[in-house]
Amino acid sequence: MNEMVTACLNACPHACRQGGACTCQQAFCGSHEKVEHTQHESASCHSQAADHESHGAVSCHDDAGHEGHGGHHMGMMEDMKQRFWVVLVLTIPIAVLSPMLMMIFNYSINFPGQGWIEFILGTIVFFYGGKPFLEHGWMEIQNKQPGMMLLITLGIVSSYLYSVMTTFFLDASMNYYFELATLILIMLLGHVIEMKSQMRANDDLESLANLLPNEASRINADGDIEVVGIDQLQVDDLVLVRPGEKVAVDGTIASGHSTLDEAVITGESVPVAKDDGDEVIAGTINGDGALQVRVAKAGNDSYVQQVLDLVKGAQAQKSKAQSLADRVAAWLFYIAFGVGIIALVIWWNLTTAQTAIQFMVSTFVIACPHALGLAIPLVNAKSTSLAARSGLLVQNRIPFEQAYQVDTVVFDKTGTLTKGEFAVDGVYPIADVSENQILALAASLEAQSEHPIAKGIVQAAKEKDLDLQAVNNYQNHSGAGLEGEVDGNLVKILSPKATREAGYDFDQAQLEKITSQAKTVVFVIKADQVIGALAVSDQVRPEAKEVIQVLHKQGIEAVMLTGDNDQVAQAVAKEIGLDQVFSQVLPDQKSAAIQSLQGQGKSVMMVGDGVNDAPALAQAEVGVAIGAGTDVAMDSADIILVESQLKDVLNSLSLSQATNTKIKQNLAWGAGYNIFAIPLAAGLLAPIGITLGPALSGIFMSLSTVICAVNAQSLNFEKYE
């Protein structure tokens, strides 16, 4: 099956479950097929159809490209429009011959065969205009999932059969053809409006899919430029990106310089300067310079496609609130059906058969399980797409929706509250060795590590043009340090805590003096003798203090979790105003620190790099990985922040709050509408002269979903820049 590029427009409130056929009650999906795939596939059909408990799911649509899904729904809308115009033309003579309109406007038409003409026109309207409703109503019966389409089907079938009965067996002056025609006319128009509203609610996801060009200009070995499809590109191919073009691949600039508009990826509106060796991302827009880009990832492996998969996967997840809404929506059919039958019986005995049928049909038509079924998915579709456009990738929907309840945010220090770019501030010889000897020895060992401190030490050695030596039997001791053999001697680089625990002596007073300045110290040990120490510092992010202040204004506690010594941790905490510090915590102990906070009744968000902090991210109610860049494959994180911007933590909380507000609004509307509309349509207020005919009921039903869609589309959030 071709991979879906856009999720279905969330148009099936109860479809695609347990292998059932899709019953797109609003958008009429057309032909569907059952597809088996694993729970981890993100191309799930509809957000409300995803099932986390099982390994089987259903995917509604085959998609043949970035525009396939949008074109599919556009085709459905065109079909509905065509049916609408045909029914409108047929409704005109039906209206002219309507006994009700003759009575209202005081005119009379009576000729032989008049009843037959009304019957023929009404029958065409019923079968042609009502076909989409009849088909999907029957599909709901087959799937044993009765819903809104079956209610509409019952309404128009009742109207048609009653009119036929009056034409051939009862009083022809009491026929219902005009009401039938106007009902179908209104339903067709309403569904066109609904589809447009729902498609607008998914425009962000559709536009994400359209970020990737379909073709690229490949530079062949002989220098010729060949336009090829994205699927024909290989890693290490060279691609030409002309001024103003979209970048087609993820890669690095082999030649050229320009500025790139990365707003669609990061939300940053300012173009970013790019030069040789810099990374570029597919979907960004080149400025004035021509670039030659070496392909690293293309097509389905590209960053944009990974983001799209994440967004679709998140939209396919169901919260408890959504599951409850789905169950209530499923019961609405039985409620509306029961109330409709009761209304028929009561009004049949109190008034005429025509009036009784009118109340029954109105009740069937006005009920809208769809408004409840779509209340959450429409907001989900908007919020996850909006998040992706702002550099916030929602991987797990439920924690994201619950983020607004967080009362404690725990930050890792290195690379989160600080820039993670260490510089050597001092070298302190202890034995009879020079500063350069200590630095060179330390750098030789640290060159084997990817830790930010290691990179800073190696960079300092490079700046002094020091020669690094070969290292044998290298070992990394997580949270303590590292060791290896250099020139036949065992060399260790340890933290103060690990140095003390290993029994080595050092000047504690000197250590405290250095660490009080927010500097991190590591000791260099050679042949079981401490020969020196290095002091390195990491600059606190300039926005860190402001972010902590905003959290405090929101009543949220800010905590730091670090493996660094307490003096350094307290110095950083004092500088930016943290409430609590966990220091000298090893990576495998971080989740226990989160548990201790949760044991105090706190709801915790953990913010870290997504690698060393994986257990803590998984333990927290909400795990946030910061600075992921183009690597979005972080299983431990619920939310992934593409940029290393602390303010995106505030943005994720803000968007979660805004999303929750919209969900509550839509649920309140969906539930409230049905609570008031069904009794009203059944004639509860008829004794005081307030009634709804089938046509007006149909208008209200369509508007109820449109309101949900428009409300979801209006979702926005306070963004911290």
Residues recorded for the chain:
721
Q: Once rounded to an integer, what is the mean pLDDT over residues 630-652?
A: 78
Q: Once rounded to an integer, what is the mean pLDDT over residues 202-220?
A: 71
CA distance 713 to 701: 19
CA distance 124 to 117: 11
At 587-599, the pLDDT tens digits run 778 889 999 999 9
Q: What is the DSSP letter of 469?
A: P
pLDDT at 312: 67
pLDDT at 324: 75
CA distance 664 to 502: 57
Which residues are catalytically annotated? 412
- Joined together, the tokens standing for residue 65 give 């490209």
Of the candidates 160, 151, 83, the one whose C-alpha atom is nearest the C-alpha of residue 120 is 160
Q: Would you give the end-to-end CA distance of the chain in angstroms?
A: 41
Token pair 């053809």: residue: 177
Band of pLDDT at residue 316, cut at 50, 70 and 90? low
Q: Once rounded to an integer, what is the mean pLDDT over residues 521-531?
A: 86
Q: From 1.10.10.1590, 2.70.150.10, 3.40.50.300, 3.40.50.1820, which CATH number describes the 215-301 domain?
A: 2.70.150.10
Query: What average pLDDT does the chain have?
Result: 78
CA distance 575 to 376: 42
The CATH classification number of 419-539 equals: 3.40.1110.10
Tell which wins on pLDDT, 15 or 340: 340
Q: Once rounded to an integer, what is the mean pLDDT over residues 357-374?
A: 81
Band of pLDDT at residue 26, cut at 50, 70 and 90? very low
Tell which wins on pLDDT, 190 or 31: 190
Q: Once rounded to an integer, what is the mean pLDDT over residues 112-138?
A: 89
pLDDT at 319: 67
pLDDT surpasses 80 at 72: no
Answer yes or no: CATH 3.40.250.10 is held by domain 380-416+541-654: no
pLDDT at 612: 66
3-state DSSP assignment of residue 616 = helix
- 200 with 708: CB under 8 angstroms? no
Domains in the chain: boundaries: 215-301, 380-416+541-654, 419-539
CA distance 253 to 570: 42
Q: 144-148, 493-497, 581-585, 708-712: which range is least confident on average?
A: 144-148
Q: Once rounded to an integer, what is the mean pLDDT over residues 642-671?
A: 89
- Joined together, the tokens standing for residue 322 give 């959504």
pLDDT surpasses 70 at 340: yes
